[in-house]
Amino acid sequence: MTKTKLNIESWNRKEHFRFFSAFDDPFFGITTNVDFTTIYLEAKHDSQSFFLYSLHHILTKANETDEFKLRIEEGNSVVKYDTIHVSPTIGREDGTFGFAFFEYIPDRNDFIQQAIQEITRVKNSTGLSFSKNTGREDVIRYSSIPWFSFSEMKHAVSFKNGDSVPRISTGKLIDTNGKMLLPISICAHHGLMDGKHVAQFLNKLSEP
């Protein structure tokens, strides 16, 4: 968990950070559809899980967007992690879900292999399935909601406890004349990023 502490006094977002950090709810949310046709076709061609293919793509692009690697720690300190991972929710046959932890590995096949092992752990557990890694700060909280598409979403955030971890959720794929659009909802701390940074992330998602 290598990270670098930012000098807030010389940060060009100093006033933005302090302004939004004083809010009762400093999180903002954006929901849109992103073209995931390439990822969908790759998963289908390889007979692999679209969930894992798309999640690896999302995590890769989050790691390429610095603002998604910023966290508030120790009160009002801001740090940037070198690498961020993902803590997704994993559903079980009994209708419950548990929290998992997938380490970010640039190689997609290696990422999928370790993710499958973690999915097995969660499916064979009960309750929320917390582990020593699921509560880490250097993660993205992620949920897949494959039963329906959506145009808006409210994320659960414990902002009173100083939480600053971004949330990302995806919905059911929308087939639009052969183009596979993925509903994606992003919830982030406004003291750490703005809509422009989310747009940069979304643009990266549209890249191969």
Tally of CA atoms within 13 A in the half-sphere of 71 that contains its CB: 22
Could you give the CA distance from residue 26 to residue 32 in angstroms, rounded to a whole number? 20
Write out the two tokens for 77.
């300190």
Residue type, 184: I
Greatest alpha-carbon pair distance for the chain in Å reads 51
What is the C-alpha to C-alpha distance for residues 116 and 169, in angstroms, rounded to an integer?
A: 20
Residue where the block lists tokens 């414990």: 158
User: Could you give the angle at which helices 50-63 and 108-123 cross, rounded to 10 degrees?
Assistant: 120
In whole angstroms, give the CA distance from residue 116 to residue 88: 12
Q: Which residues are catalytic?
A: 190
Is 72 in contact with 78 (CB distance < 8 Å)? Answer: yes
Name the token pair of 149: 């598409």
